[in-house]
Structure 1
Amino acid sequence: MSTITTGFRSITAAVARAKGEPFTVEPARIRAPRGDEVLVRVVAAGLCHTDLIVRDQYYPVPLPAVLGHEGAGVVEEVGPAVKDLRVGDHVVLTYGACGHCPSCIGGHGAYCRQFFGLNFGGGDLDGQNALQDANGQPLHDHFFLQSSFASLALARENNAVKVPKDAPLELLGPLGCGVQTGAGAVIHSLKVAPGSSFASFGAGAVGLSSVMAARVAGATTIIAVDVVPGRLDLALELGATHVVNSRDTDPVDAIRQITGGGVDYALESTGRPAVLEQGIEALGSLGAIGVVGAPPLGTKASFDVNSLLLGGRSIRGIVEGDSVPQRFIPQLVELYQQGRFPFDRLVKFYPLERINEAADDSTRGVTLKPVLRLPQ
């Protein structure tokens, strides 16, 4: 239970204290919500690849920090400027956006002009923190405007998405990032068309979300490429019509054979430049590939310019599936409840104190989408 202590509430949090080191689960404190902030009792939070690459400092988020950006929980307190959310509402926490720059106003919050500072800055835009450790020392926070590896998290009203109370709240956190990214890339960014062909390079949580979305979108040839047989088997159960183990078979040749020349759409979610190069070569004429895999900053990839030019092919960088979360997350919940988007097949639950086991299982490919249950 949370207690109020000199204006702060006591929480339990997983802290990334040093580059590449295990998370430490420890007591901490969080301040009350201000302005348009909401304080959320986190029921569960997905553990995403981005949490791990920040822990390992691929992105320069200052440490020590409380990470976590796929939280789901119940609103416990609201700031004075909150308009629509109420105490007791069930919410999924998603990425942060300013809400007023040209990208945000145009419905493209994932490309907010302040995206990196808001989501990866380690504090608010003034450099202030809402979290302290047990010794009163600041902890870097505001990760994706939530830092949800904690029993309580602060978000803003515009990144706390209300969801139906009859939906399984502890399952829904991954909709805020990884699942939204894969599904949104198919539906919003690439606009995969009925009767088309689609290939997912990578069959992790993001890749398999794209496979399920391609099925929903009406693609009739859906190809999953990976090196883990179990993931490929699951891809077939979730909607893939073909799978390619790229450890045994050249995926470019295989895709050209399956499609009769090349795929209409593809998504690269591994963050490996060599895989991206294969994905580009696997495109048919006028084909498009989306890129969502995040390697270390400064990573370069190459492609044959004439192949891109003469085939009319295109490469598209994608953040958060080009989603408007307030609209798309409830749509994904409805698809799940209808049995058309069974993303629960990707999930394995862990208590927060086993976060390092979850991270290791994710890195080794044992678990597709770890979800951490927070102490209540």
Structure 2
Amino acid sequence: MQITAAVAHGPHQDFSIETVELASPRSDEVLVEIRGVGLCHTDIAARDGIYGLPYPLVLGHEGSGVVIAVGQDVTSVAPGDKVAVSFSSCGTCRPCTSGRPAYCTTFAQENYIGSRPDGTQTMLTNGSPAHANFFGQSSFASHALVTERNTVKVDTELDISLVGPLGCGIQTGAGAVMKSMNCEKESSLVVLGGGPVGLAAVMGAVIQGCSTIIVVEPVENRRTTATRLGATHAIDPITENVTQRIMEITADGIDYIFDTTGRTEVITAAMEAAAQNATVGLVGVPADFSVNLPLNIVGAMQKGLTVRGIVEGDSQPQLFIPELLEYHAAGRFPFDSIITTYPFSKINDAVAAQERGEVTKLVLVPDA
């Protein structure tokens, strides 16, 4: 079928709104009409070549919408269902079968190669491949072809167009605090970076009952938003000494450190204020994939420090996305309050607004 998609033709180039051809669903696939799709830094990094994907390329990995058609083997969703679309996983490797699909052993092939895992294409433009299947969806489009595994049926009064960010960025931040690190009640947490992932972590920390929630963020309006969402303290790393301020706030040091920045100097400053048996969770991706985090071995031993990488907040999307929507319905997870919507045709304006720091979380919706 013919659909509309935002196509990337090269690094640092504007997206081009074009008509492309989308394949019909296979037996395990689902056709979704996209009602909203989050704009994430990962999409822009992919457009600009950080993953080495070929062009032309269709991105987008935080889609939500309505099921239009399903393959013959699909049983969990049906045409007319409202759905969120999350990351893809194989379903057969040990992490997948043990409930940890974010650590799927073929995660890269499922999400990052610009085609289905078997190398077949889902989109064509002018008869040639438009590389797609990004995160098993490529939802910068009017419609997306996804699999049953990464499609989550949702029951919510919230506008379905706003649900997409739960499929990646929001579940990553909230899951890191609620699942990966499982922050204890009355514990202290510092969140490094006040973007959408960091703010989701703040909301998750409130649900967990953390008594001290510190956000380190240089942009004033993000610090203000973090405080509104439940942060007890906000530190400006430009004008304040991060280590010193954390120690002033906590006295005995911080129990949990969650980094969304990928900046080693920021992580190190927070780690210097780590409490005994502290946990450090890492989701921030540095611009240079070869960057290493300095870690003093003896110091880590003496403090009993745990440092762990986190993917997708250790989420099982089929379980965690409905859980987050239940918290939202109860007024305890107001993730929609950080969202600004842009018409899909204005995707390049949306990217520019995000780069200028004018918005917190962007969602593209169909043009009126």
Same fold (TM over 0.5): yes
In the TM superposition, what are the counterparts of 1:188-199 in structure 2 within 5 Å?
A: 188-199=179-190
Which of 166, 178, 190 matches 1:175? 166
Deviations 1:304-343 (A, max 9, x none): 2222121111111000000010000001111111111111
Aligned residue for 1:158, secondary structure, equals: coil
RMSD after superposition? 1.2
Matched, 1:91 2:83: yes
In the TM superposition, what are the counterparts of 1:180-329 in structure 2 within 5 Å?
A: 180-296=171-287, 297-329=289-321
Cα 1:18–1:87 change in 2 (3 A) is same
Report which stretch shifted further, 158-167 or 259-268. 158-167
User: Are 1:96 and 1:115, in contact at CA under 8 Å, matched by a contact in 2?
Assistant: yes
Q: For the residues of structure 1 that align with 2:7 and 2:271, how far apart are their CA atoms?
A: 39
User: Are 1:203 and 1:235, in contact at CA under 8 Å, matched by a contact in 2?
Assistant: yes
Which of 346, 357, 364 matches 2:338? 346
Where do 5+ consecutive residues of structure 2 fail to align? none
Q: For the residues of structure 1 that align with 2:218 and 2:156, how far apart are their CA atoms?
A: 38
Cα 1:189–1:165 change in 2 (3 A) is closer
The code of the aligned residue for 1:154 comes to L
Deviations 1:54-88 (A, max 9, x none): 11112222222110000000000001111221100
Identity %: 43
Aligned residue in 1 for 2:143? 152
User: Are 2:247 and 2:253, in contact at CA under 8 Å, matched by a contact in 1?
Assistant: yes
Report which stretch shifted further, 48-57 or 105-114. 48-57
The code of the aligned residue for 2:68 comes to E
Which of 37, 57, 76 matches 2:68? 76
Aligned residue in 2 for 1:331? 323
Q: For the residues of structure 2 that align with 1:286 and 1:107, how far apart are their CA atoms?
A: 26
Aligned residue in 1 for 2:37? 45
The code of the aligned residue for 2:233 comes to H
Aligned residue in 1 for 2:6? 14
Aligned residue in 2 for 1:122? 114
Report which stretch shifted further, 99-108 or 307-316. 307-316
Q: For the residues of structure 2 that align with 1:360 and 1:276, how far apart are their CA atoms?
A: 28
User: Are 2:70 and 2:78, in contact at CA under 8 Å, matched by a contact in 1?
Assistant: yes
Q: For the residues of structure 1 that align with 2:80 and 2:242, how far apart are their CA atoms?
A: 49
Q: For the residues of structure 1 that align with 2:252 and 2:51, how far apart are their CA atoms?
A: 38
The code of the aligned residue for 2:342 comes to Y
Q: For the residues of structure 2 that align with 1:348 and 1:166, how far apart are their CA atoms?
A: 18
The code of the aligned residue for 1:148 comes to S
Q: For the residues of structure 1 that align with 2:297 and 2:15, how far apart are their CA atoms?
A: 43
Q: For the residues of structure 1 that align with 2:156 and 2:305, how far apart are their CA atoms?
A: 44
User: Are 2:156 and 2:325, in contact at CA under 8 Å, matched by a contact in 1?
Assistant: no
User: Are 2:344 and 2:366, in contact at CA under 8 Å, matched by a contact in 1?
Assistant: yes
1:165, CA displacement in angstroms? 5.0
The code of the aligned residue for 2:201 comes to S
Q: For the residues of structure 2 that align with 1:79 and 1:291, how far apart are their CA atoms?
A: 37
Could you state the TM-score of these two structures normalised by the residue count of structure 1?
0.95
User: Are 1:179 and 1:205, in contact at CA under 8 Å, matched by a contact in 2?
Assistant: yes
Where do 5+ consecutive residues of structure 1 fail to align? 1-8
Aligned residue for 2:4, secondary structure, equals: strand
User: Are 1:45 and 1:374, in contact at CA under 8 Å, matched by a contact in 2?
Assistant: no
The code of the aligned residue for 1:358 comes to A
Deviations 1:143-186 (A, max 9, x none): 00000000000110010000015332011000000000000000
Deviations 1:86-142 (A, max 9, x none): 100000000000011000000000000110111001101221111011x12110111
Aligned residue in 2 for 1:3? none
User: Are 1:58 and 1:295, in contact at CA under 8 Å, matched by a contact in 2?
Assistant: no
Could you state the TM-score of these two structures normalised by the residue count of structure 2?
0.97
1:230, CA displacement in angstroms? 0.7
Report which stretch shifted further, 255-264 or 306-315. 306-315
Q: For the residues of structure 2 that align with 1:328 and 1:258, how far apart are their CA atoms?
A: 32
The code of the aligned residue for 2:138 comes to S
User: Are 2:215 and 2:233, in contact at CA under 8 Å, matched by a contact in 1?
Assistant: yes
